[in-house]
Amino acid sequence: RNQFTGNIPSTIGNLHNLEELYLYETQLSGQIPDSIGNLSSLIKLNLASNMLEGVIPLSLGNCQHLLALGLFDNKLTGKIPKQLLQLSSLSIALDLSQNNLFGSLPSEVGNLKMLTTLNLADNNLSGNIPSSLGGCSSLVWLSLSGNIFQGTIPLSLGSLKGLMELDISHNNLSGQVPTFLDQFKLEYLNMSYNDFEGEVPMVGVFSNESAFSVVGNRRLCGGLIELHLRKCRKTSKKLKKIRLVVIITLVTFTLFTAACVAYAWSKKKRKSHLSQTSTHERHLKVSYNQILKATDGFSESNLIGTGGYSSVYKGLINEADDSFVAIKVLHLQNRGAQRSFMRECEAWRNIRHRNLLKIITSCSSIDFQGNPFKALFQGVLPNSIGNLSNQLNDLRFHENLLHGSLPSSIGNLVGLNWLSLGGNQFTGNIPSTIGNLQNLQKLYLYETQLSGYIPDSMGNLSSLIELYLYSNMLKGVIPLSLGNCHHLLTLYLNDNKLAGKIPIQLLQLSSLSITLDLSQNNFFGSLPSEVGNLNMLTTLNLADNNLSGNIPSSIGGCSSLLQLSLKGNLFQGVIPLSLGSLKGLMELDISYNNLSGHIPSFLEQFKLEYLNLSYNDFEGEVPMECLAMKVHSQLWEIEGFVVA
């Protein structure tokens, strides 16, 4: 964040080895120079929050390694160039919001199959939302708000299974709310200020008032009571007349019978009505943080009493009325606690006495807004955890003192998008029921003491984006079924006891664009040539295994690699010349192998920050450029000696 003024110099295009360019939040003006398209090694470009004007240069389509592009908050105009949308390398973010771009959104947007964030908000884009947008199957965040889009929401968007946030507000969109939206595991949905009509669903994201907005759509009906929308008309006038005749007939027929039981029935109803009314009137929304504050962190000074299944504290929830409440904390880790509480509730339901405390509300492990809280938990995860709502999206108990085995009932939580249990002391196997969580996008089971095999059912997690299983005691082979996780961006299996060959199916996951780490295991055999399919991958770590044979020339196809480690294996032969195409490589470690031949001349042309060739059988002259390499005070090694 500086205060530069003037234009971006065209000479910026001379920096052919530039990988990251950040000129955001300055006062730069003028046009983006065409020469920026000469930056063929560019990975990240951020020109946001300036006063840049003119069109997006077509030459940006030459930046074939671009992962992230931020041009938002400028004065750019013109149409979105098709050349930009043909950059299939874009996998992190494309943000063109807060400009003056106009015209339709080109159908080429569907080429961005690896993109996770697309923001085109606050422009003047018009026309229909292209159905090809459904091809952006890795999208997690999508905003088209503040434009002039019209027509209906294309059904093809139903294929964006991993979408967590969607904002299409402030457009001219019409039609009914698509049914697929209530099946998504959205954390945020904004459809406000359009011309949608019909019924608002009441499931999925539509069941949480704070997670979605449909205001400004006058023709919508139904939905949650809190929306204050009109009731939907589901029947025609003719059908209503027929129904009225039937009702009158039935009422007449049952009047005599009803009179016989009127007294008993009315008495029972009065009791039930009073109970329900009092419950609804006092059902407060209380978060965990409020309870924590009210009890002064569950201090002993506020402890009223404790038992085998629960403890009771006093607390001041509402300081305005200065009245204390009793807060009962269940000890669910104790066997029989849940059953005891259910019996207690059953007893309370049938007892009325003026000296009994009335139940005001309840609070679970997440607050009423759905946000997780952080506390230090210990003990085991009870099997009853599977009884939590299947609408639960987020369950995080990482970095605690939990132990014991993972309950198989966790597979009942089919609504989960994020399950984080890493950094605990779990033992035993990963339950095969984990494969039931087909909406899961992030699974963190790192740094525990889990053992056994990775279950084949893991391949059922078709929405999975991140999988962290590192630093456990897992054994066996990598299940071939992982090849079904077509949205996987990051995979950490390092520091386990896995063996066997690296499955070809895993290396055919072209979605892998961040990290593949299989280091510190016992993998053997050759590195399959299919590794060249990972052309979006930025970090590949296969260190400290028993891999053998030649380094496949196809590895040169991993054109987005920044870090590559093959050290501590049994690779032999020469360094393939195809590695010369890895122009963006910043760290290369091939030490402790049986490699031979000359040091390739292309290494001196790379802008490496770290290079380790030690403990091999290389021969010949060491390039002078390599000897001069001391970027960021990093050294490079050869033949077991540090060369300064």
What is the number of H-type helices and E-type strands within the chain? 7, 44
Measure the CA–CA gap between 463 and 391, rounded to whole angstroms. 17
For residue 328, say whether it is annotated as part of any ligand binding site: yes
CB 108 within 8 A of CB 82: yes
| 230-262 burial code (b ≥16 CB/10 A, e <16) | eeeeeeeeeeeeeeeeeeeeeeeeeeeeeeeee
pLDDT at site 95? 95
| Measured CA distances, 286 to 231, 267, 327 (Å) | 30, 33, 11
Closest CA to 304 of 324, 319, 321, 287: 324
- Stretch among 451-455, 525-529, 600-604 having the lowest mean pLDDT: 600-604
**Nearest alpha-carbon partner for 507 in 473, 532, 538:** 532
Residues 28-41, mean pLDDT to the nearest whole number: 93
Q: Name the band, by pLDDT with cuts 50, 70 and 90, for residue 187.
A: confident
DSSP state of 231: P
Q: What is the pLDDT of residue 378?
A: 59
Structure confidence at residue 436 (pLDDT): 94
pLDDT at position 148 is: 92
- Give pLDDT, residue 343: 54
Which whole number is the average pLDDT over 212-237? 77
Contact 81, 104 (CB under 8 A): no
Q: At residue 605, does pLDDT exceed 90?
A: no
Query: Which DSSP helix (H) or strand (E) runs through 30?
Result: strand 29-31
Distance CA 625, CA 644 (A): 12
How far is it, in rounded angstroms, from Cα 584 to Cα 42? 8
What's the pLDDT tens digit per position in 377-412? 557 888 888 887 777 788 888 877 788 899 999 999
Q: Would you place residue 569 in the very low, low, confident or very high pLDDT band (cuts 50, 70, 90)?
A: very high
Beta bridge partners of 124: 102
Q: What is the pLDDT of residue 308?
A: 55
pLDDT-based confidence at residue 147 (cuts at 50, 70, 90):
very high
Percentage of the chain surpassing pLDDT 70?
78
Intervals of CATH 3.80.10.10 along the chain: 10-227, 419-426+441-643
- Expressed in percent and rounded to 5, the helix, strand and coil fractions of the chain are 25, 25, 50
Q: For residue 592, name the pLDDT band (cuts at 50, 70, 90).
A: very high
Tokens standing for residue 240: 């209503």
| DSSP designation for 366 | B
Dihedral, CA atoms, 485, 487, 490, 491, nearest 10 degrees? 0
Token digits for 244? 């009225």
* Edge-to-edge strands, sheet with 378-380: 378-380, 401-404, 425-426
Q: Is 485 exposed, middle or buried (0-12, 13-18, 19+ CB in 10 A)?
A: buried
- Which pLDDT belongs to residue 209? 77
The pTM is what? 0.48
Of the two residues 292 and 96, the one the predictor is more confident about is: 96
Q: Judging by beta carbons within 10 Å of its beta carbon (0-12, 13-18, 19+), is residue 25 exposed, middle or buried?
A: middle
Greatest alpha-carbon span in the chain? 109
Question: What's the pLDDT tens digit per position in 193-202?
Answer: 988 988 888 8
Please name which of 112, 80, 114, 115 lies closest in space to residue 96, comparing C-alpha atoms: 80
Q: What integer best gives the mean pLDDT of the chain?
A: 81
Is 70 exceeded by the pLDDT of residue 488?
yes
Are the CB atoms for 434 and 410 separated by under 8 Å? Answer: yes
80: its two tokens: 């979105």
pLDDT of residue 433: 94
Task: Please report the pLDDT score of residue 609 as a whole number.
Answer: 84
Mean pLDDT (whole number) for 552-576: 94
Residue 623: HSE in the Cβ half-sphere, 13 Å Cα cutoff: 15
Q: Is pLDDT above 70 for 418?
A: yes
pLDDT score of 56 more than 90:
yes
Question: How much is the average pLDDT of 593-601?
Answer: 91
Classified by CATH at the fold level, domain 288-349 comes out as Phosphorylase Kinase; domain 1 (3.30.200)
Is 80 exceeded by the pLDDT of residue 4?
A: yes
pLDDT tens, 523-556? Answer: 999 999 999 999 989 999 999 999 999 999 999 9
| Cα–Cα distance, 171 to 268 (Å, whole number) | 52
Comma-separated ranges of CATH 3.30.200.20 domains in the chain: 288-349
Host H or E run for residue 239 = helix 237-260
Residue 471 to residues 239, 495, 513, 547, 637, Cα–Cα distance (Å): 65, 5, 22, 20, 28
What is the band of 514 on the pLDDT scale with cuts at 50, 70, 90? confident
What average pLDDT score do residues 29-51 get? 93
Give the C-alpha separation, 142 to 433, whole Å: 31
pLDDT given at position 634: 37
* Residues whose CB falls within 8 Å of the CB of residue 442, separated by 6 or more in sequence, listed in order: 417, 418, 419, 420, 464, 465, 466
CATH number corresponding to 10-227: 3.80.10.10
For residue 118, is pLDDT > 70?
Answer: yes
Hey, what long-range contacts does 219-224 have (CB within 8 A, 24 or more apart)? Answer: 219/195, 220/177, 220/196, 223/199, 224/200
**Structure-token pair, residue 511:** 């979605």
The pLDDT of residue 301: 78
Dihedral angle of Cα 175, 180, 184, 190, to the nearest 10 degrees: 0
Lowest mean pLDDT among 28-42, 144-158, 596-610: 596-610
Binned at pLDDT 50, 70 and 90, residue 625 comes out as low
Distance CA 96, CA 120 (A): 5
Q: Does pLDDT of 219 surpass 70?
A: yes
Q: Who's near 425: CB < 8 A, 6+ residues apart?
A: 401, 402, 403, 448, 449
315 pLDDT tier (thresholds 50, 70, 90)? confident
Q: Reply yes or no on whether the pLDDT at 585 is more than 70.
A: yes
Long-range contacts of 635-641 (CB under 8 A, 24+ apart): 636/608, 636/610, 636/611, 636/612, 637/591, 637/611, 637/612, 637/613, 638/599, 638/613, 638/614, 639/613, 639/614, 639/615, 640/614, 640/615, 641/614
Cα separation, 169 vs 371, whole angstroms: 24
Report the alpha-carbon distance of residue 301 to residue 371 in Å, rounded. 28
pLDDT confidence of 638, banded at 50, 70, 90?
very low
Whether the pLDDT of residue 241 is over 70: the answer is: no
Does the pLDDT at position 160 exceed 70?
Answer: yes
Question: Per-residue pLDDT for 165 more than 50?
Answer: yes
Can you give the pLDDT at residue 522? 93
Give one DSSP letter per residue of 549-598, joined into a string: EEPPGGGGG-TT-SEEE--SSEEEEPPPGGGGG-TT--EEE--SSEEEEE
Say yes or no to pLDDT of 492 above 90: yes
* Average pLDDT over every residue of 46-54: 93
pLDDT tier for residue 12 given thresholds of 50, 70 and 90: very high
Lowest mean pLDDT: which of 152-166, 394-408, 426-440? 394-408
At residue 250 the predicted structure's pLDDT band, cuts being 50, 70 and 90, is: low
The vertex-558 CA angle with 556 and 559, nearest 5°, equals 90
Query: Residue 459: helix, strand or coil by DSSP?
Result: helix
For 368, counting Cβ atoms within 10 Å of its Cβ (0-12 exposed, 13-18 middle, 19+ buried), the class is middle
Q: How many residues does the chain have?
A: 644
Mean pLDDT in residue range 208-219: 83
Cα distance between residue 91 and residue 624, in whole Å = 37
Name the range with the highest mean pLDDT among 181-190, 388-397, 569-578: 569-578
- Per DSSP, the residues of 465-514 read -EEE--SSEEEEPPPGGGGG-TT--EEE--SSEEEEPPPHHHHT-TT--S
Q: For residue 348, is pLDDT > 80?
A: no
Nearest to 414 by CA among 478, 485, 463: 463
Q: Which CATH superfamily is domain 419-426+441-643 in?
A: Ribonuclease Inhibitor (3.80.10.10)
- Band (pLDDT 50/70/90 cuts) for residue 239 is very low
Percent of the chain with pLDDT over 90: 47
Q: Which helix (H) or strand (E) holds 348?
A: helix 337-349
- Secondary structure class of 264 (helix, strand, coil): helix
Look at residues 175, 184, 135, 131 and name the one whose alpha carbon lies nearest to residue 152. 175
The pLDDT-based confidence of 280 (bands split at 50, 70, 90) is very low
